[in-house]
Amino acid sequence: MFITILLLFMFILLVYNYYVHHGRNGRLINLIPGPPGLPILGNLLQFHVSAEELMKLLFKFTDYYYPIFKGWLSFIPIVFIHNPDDFETILSSTKHIEKSHFYDFLFPWLGKGLLMSSGTKWQTRRKILTPTFHFSILNQFVNILIKESNCITNSLKDAGGIVVKDLSFVNEYTLNAICETAMGISLQNFGEFQQNYQNAIHTIMELIIYRGFRPWLYNDLLFSLSPQGRKQKKVLKILHGFTEKIIAERKLYHERTNGRYLKTLESDKEIDDVEVFEIKKKRLAMLDLLIAASREGLLTDSDIKEEVDTFMFGGHDTITRTVMFTLLLLAEHKDIQERVRVEIDSVVQENGGKLTMKALQNLPYLERCLKESLRLYPTVFFILRNAAEDVKLQSYVVPTGTTLFLNIMRVHRDPNFWPNPEVFDPDRFLPEKIQNRHPYSYIPFSAGPRNCIGQKFALLELKTIIASLVHNFYLEPVDYLKNMQLKADLLLCPSRPFYMKFIPINHK
């Protein structure tokens, strides 16, 4: 009987495999080149490797099957795209804005926040949150960013000329920065709770990637019964506990001030002019906008939590990793590092010996360095979208419902658009050189209607941190990027710890 059931099960799988591959959608997918797979399993065994090997495999296939290839995770087709024209077709469209079902694995953590939502819900959230990142608001945030950058600098100075491992300590300050700016909350008294949160983020990202390449764990019930599912449950408790504490702290602040600050967001009429002036001088935090929207019945407490979880994740670890790659590049390129230092020293001197918003706006070469760093090492190195309808790309038609893997890092290094693409050259971003460049050949913050809402904030924070460190230290390489193996993760990261050296500069 067992053998009969097993044979029947295999027969059903083979019939379904025939249906998937020989139906209209399957035939369209199989016209696209790609690595040969097995019946039923597809390319599953090839992708069932370590995170390091998976990254190597991805780029091997990307180069071999340029500019497009397909892979099958059992019965699930994925089309890998690495051509700016195809990027433009997908990202500029208002139709293909729904994230791939692979992002569903983020749902237990981030819910349906700005990253995950679509349609009317996404449009409403985007409208509520956009004012947070207006230039006038960023101008108010800059003092916090400078304070946290000074903390990073002082922590290194206290240790003298030292070799630092993987810059993970920077995470503490970027987390402080996003909390004080976007949430209006200081983490001064969070202590070990803060470190547990950072560790939990790294753990859950590993779990999500692990699950993504194992279709037998796609079912929520089966995953919850697995060791990884039980581990995720514990990690989520830490992640949600941290954000719930932040929301509670900010709500308590508004209770203590009788909600006067929130009233200015809703209406200025109930408060006299002196109070309005005093309250408006305070920082407009993203969390305040969310709380104010909830008072008007536009959001629930659960909605607020989704957005806080989303921005806490997107607003600190991404910054830390970009800081890491930028510093490593500057350490290896002494001539570029020195040119950055001269520019920074000059504007610091002009602004009374300290960094200011005015100083940060007058660092064009540093900004070009950051853009070039994000070209070579985009922190978010891929985007996944669902094809909302049949979509005609440059070479093939991709059928409705197919997962599209947009490989940003590969496009950023495409020699057809970037001469000597592996070379670190900030002058690629001189105004005269970017005029005729394909607009979708460089998209570190995505593009189109779903581009990154916080990209101006991110660049401002990156400028602040890098400027402070280069002004105060000579950067020396210990490990080199050419020897660094990257691994498949939600964000770009090295597969093992690396080291670099900071040598203090004595300013007279």
**In contact, 71 and 212? CB cutoff 8 Å:** no
pLDDT of residue 229: 95
CA angle 387, 389, 390 (to 5 degrees): 95
Strand-pairing partners, residue 391, are 398
In SS3 terms, 249-303 reads as HHHHHHHHCCCHHHHHHHCCCCCCHHHHHHHHCCCCCHHHHHHHHHHCCCCCHHH
How high is the pLDDT of residue 281? 44
Give the pLDDT means over successive 10-residue stretches in the chain (508 positions): 84 86 94 93 88 90 93 93 94 85 89 83 83 73 88 80 74 87 81 85 90 88 94 95 90 77 54 39 72 84 89 87 94 97 93 85 95 96 92 93 94 95 96 92 92 89 94 92 88 87 83
Token pair listed for 63: 């180069």
The pLDDT, as a whole number, for residue 389 is 93
In the prediction, which pLDDT does 276 show?
36
Looking at residue 506, its pLDDT comes to: 80
List the beta bridge partners of residue 77: 72
Q: Return the pLDDT at 260.
A: 63
Beta strand 403-407 with 76-81 is parallel
CB atoms within 10 A of CB 48: 13
Separation of alpha carbons 297 and 433, rounded Å: 49
The b-or-e profile of 235-268 (16+ CB within 10 A means b, else e) is bbebbbebbeebbebbbebbeeeebebbbbbeee
Which structural domains are found in the chain, ordered by start? 120-504 (1.10.630.10)
Query: Are 256 and 247 within 8 A, CB to CB?
Result: no
Sign of the CA dihedral 128, 370, 208, 316? negative
Q: Residue 103: what pLDDT?
A: 86
Q: Tell me the C-alpha distance between 103 and 482, whole Å.
A: 31
Three-state secondary structure call for residue 236:
helix
